Amino acid sequence: MDVLLLPGFWLDSSAWDAVVPAIRAAGHTPKALTLPGLVPADPEVGLRDQIDFVIGEVDAAAGPVVLVGHSGGGAVAHGVVDARPDRVAKVIYVDSGPLGDGNVINDGFDADENGMVPLPDKMVFDDESVADMDDAIWGAFAARALPIPEKVATEKQVLSDPRRYDVPVTVITSEMSEATLRELIAGGHPYVAELAAVKDYEIVELPTGHWPMFTKPAELAEKIAAALP
């Protein structure tokens, strides 16, 4: 089965380099994607453009696919599931989750004069986000980081097909414990309303910061491979 890997903000397909071998060893075909708008930089690219790009990859696959979305890539994955619920066998969210209709990924970042959002300074992120990310790991991340189009972060998600809730989900949670996430779900918190509506979901803990592909790559690869159908 094809496994489409969608990176989060500021990352291209190489973010998944440590994960790809485990997926291949599990008997699947990994395909790490660089989402539109980063290479080349294009401030006119929005969230829907990235979703449509991945829909094209899903349509080109020989059969059903698995989507793996990290951070903002999770919002893209959920938009794809809404558009092709019969073509997605499962979604794996890496420190992310399904973004509900009318919501945006994050409108709190500052864009430059070109309409692109560069990676902010490490000090902008809270301690949970940068857990286990020492200066060397952060420096390597910053050196490879690519600005993202502001419209990807601020364009509203548009969903329409309730069959998206039929697609099984695994959430690999890093910044937040499973217990905390389940408390939010039980309390009806809007942050997790879309996840709570999914009929079949599991939560798997991988305690570290927001970028486990850099801080705990082997463990992330193992958990993604274990979650594959």
Angle among Cα 196, 31, 208 to the nearest 5 degrees reads 50
- pLDDT, position 187: 95
Decide which of 3.40.50.1820, 2.115.10.20, 3.40.50.720, 3.20.20.100 is the CATH code for 2-227: 3.40.50.1820
DSSP string, 118-152: PPPPGGGS-TTTTTT--HHHHHHHHHH---EEHHH
CA distances, 217 to each of 46, 134, 135, 137, 201 (Å): 29, 15, 17, 12, 23
Q: How does pLDDT run across 45-85, given as a tens digit for each residue? A: 999 999 999 999 999 999 999 999 999 999 999 999 999 99
Of the candidates 188, 186, 184, 222, the one whose C-alpha atom is nearest the C-alpha of residue 205 is 222
> What does the DSSP 8-state code read for residue 164?
G
Strand ranges (E), 33-76: 65-70
- pLDDT, position 67: 98
Q: What is the pTM of this model?
A: 0.97
Give the pairing type, strands 65-70 and 88-94: parallel
Of the candidates 18, 17, 49, the one whose C-alpha atom is nearest the C-alpha of residue 148 is 49
Of the candidates 130, 175, 164, 145, the one whose C-alpha atom is nearest the C-alpha of residue 51 is 164
Q: How does pLDDT run across 14-53, given as a tens digit for each residue? A: 999 999 999 999 999 999 999 999 999 999 999 999 999 9
> In angstroms, rounded to a whole number, what is the distance separating the alpha carbons of residues 52 and 55?
5
